[in-house]
Amino acid sequence: MFHVAGLYLVSAWLLVQIVDVLSQGPVPMPAEALRLVWIALILIFPLVLIFGWRYDITREGVVLTDLREGERQDLPLQPKDHGIIVALGLVVLGIIGLTAVEIMTAIEHDRLKAGIGVEEATAPPPANSIAVLPFTTCSGQESDAILAAGLAGEVIDRLASLKKFKVIARASSFTMASFGLPLVKIAQPLGVKYLLTGELCRSGETLVLRVELVDEGGYVVWTDNFEQSADASGRLTLTLAKQVTEGVAAALGQSFPTSAENRVNRLAYEQLVIGKEYAGREEFEKARAAFEKALEYDPEYEEVIWEQAQLLVWEALSRGDLGLESVREAKPIAEQALEMSRRRVAEGRADFSSYATLAMMAFYMGKWEQWLAWSREGMLDEAELTARLVAANVLFEEAETHARTALALNPSVIEHYELLGYIVERQGIDRRTGALKIFEEGLGVDPFHARINLPAGHGAAGAVRGTAGSAARGSFRAARDQEAPDLLGREVRAVDRAVARGAGGLRAHGRLWTPRLVPQRAG
């Protein structure tokens, strides 16, 4: 036993020395490798002792040792000894294999951190390209972390509304930030000139967001602290996201379209951001709780009311069903939000985003009317069925009017083209040519926008109706990867799951997307 143990200890010492030298030399061996080797050697040592207690290595090979009456006898191996040796060898090889995998993983991680293997950019990044990294928090509380993530997402959406900015999608920037790389190593693979970071802190009931804009070399271009600006009643005059967006635009010499900010309760706004973030993560109970808390602070907050209605439908879609019962439950809630938004427009308190929101509400209310009508085909008489579809068409016409107004007020927002295109398409087969023209105009603003490219959602609808399931899945996944925060993007992910389940799901969910010719308004 002592012979085998001695050989093992000497070999282990030599291996540790080699790894230590490599970790400090020109070979990119991470320091983590030495710790992994030590762990492997410690795990193997008991196996070596078991082997040395029963066997020995001689010039004749491996023999069975037998000590009787104080004399050692070397005996030939028996069949069961071969099995024991093979088992010990397999365990040792398993430990070595796992260690090797862990070491290779550590090497790849170190290479990524050091920028090894990242191709040099063939051209400098666009002058106004920017990536918003996830904001950190001071408190460490989950609610603040969710709020910080939601604020970062809202800043991305607002910056993307400025045509002169090239904003990296949230999925890409957040993923790169998760590696813990230096900022200069994040900017290069993302192909951006600027990175925006932020830290959200809470001082009593006041939120303070400290943001920093750095260039691709890691140099600070601009930094500032923002507090939620509220009047004496506690209602926000400027949200944190809008303040940050205007600050970034000013720092980079870009103008931000000024518009009247709808005043909302500060605490209600926080819960709205938190709820939308939870909804995007499909944590529906937490999202519902946040929305309910928001309405406790501001019962007239129409965006929260609308989000509650969407949540009911989205939760059903996420389970893979048509959500018709949830639509019936959500409809009166959505109608309340729709009427409040109509009042805002009628009273002259609307900006381009208000018109877009109102268009989206009317659009989905029209779709829900269609769903409810189609679900009862064969049970409704022709007059009642026609009345329901006419009601849907009225909502689509209202949605189209408001979507065109939003687009006219701010033609740089790609989502305005997307929404208007789907509204026009939904009104009948004879409108598809007009919808395609709108989608093509949107591609002039953003040629890489997944949900309208070629256009993605429009083309996928036809594929779902036919047999090209794989083509539909590819288009829907491209749209899903953009992490659309609205119900349109949520349906995309639900249809993707239905496609994966087979033809039954294709027929069911394909119908949600299929534009259907509805009766035109009388007169």
Q: What are phi and psi of 73, to 5 degrees?
A: -125, 130
Q: Is 478 a residue whose pLDDT tops 60?
A: no
pLDDT for res 404: 94
Q: Is 228 a residue whose pLDDT tops 80?
A: no
Q: Which long-range contacts (CB under 8 A, 24 or more apart) does 209-216 make?
A: 209/135, 209/151, 209/240, 209/244, 211/244, 211/247, 211/248, 213/248, 213/251, 213/252, 214/183, 215/187, 216/125, 216/184, 216/187, 216/188, 216/192
Contacts of 444 (CB under 8 A, 6+ apart): none
- In this structure, what token pair is assigned to residue 253? 């010499």
Question: Which residue is associated with the tokens 């529906």?
Answer: 284
More confident of the two residues 184 and 215: 215
pLDDT for res 480: 40
Q: Model pTM?
A: 0.59
DSSP structure class, residue 131: E
pLDDT for res 27: 54
Q: Which of 110-124, 207-221, 314-328, 463-477 has the lowest mean pLDDT?
A: 463-477
Q: Is 370 a residue whose pLDDT tops 80?
A: yes
Q: Which of 260-269, 333-342, 411-420, 472-481 has the lowest mean pLDDT?
A: 472-481
Radius of gyration for the chain, computed over Cα atoms and rounded to the nearest angstrom: 31
Contacts of 410 (CB under 8 A, 6+ apart): 161, 257, 352, 416
Question: Which residue is associated with the tokens 């256009």?
Answer: 455
Q: Is 200 a residue whose pLDDT tops 70?
A: yes
pLDDT for res 170: 84
Count of Cβ atoms closer than 10 Å to residue 264 Cβ: 23
Q: Is 455 a residue whose pLDDT tops 80?
A: no
pLDDT for res 28: 57
The CATH code of domain 129-251 reads 3.40.50.10610
In the chain, what are the domain boundaries? 2-114, 129-251, 263-344
C-alpha dist (Å) from residue 268 to 68, 247, 332, 410, 480: 85, 24, 22, 27, 28
Q: What is the pLDDT of residues 392-433, one digit of tens each?
A: 999 999 999 999 998 888 777 777 888 899 899 888 878 888
Q: What is the pLDDT of residues 131-160, one digit of tens each?
A: 999 999 998 788 889 989 989 988 988 887
Band (pLDDT 50/70/90 cuts) for residue 448 is low
Q: Say which CATH architecture domain 263-344 belongs to.
A: Alpha Horseshoe (1.25)
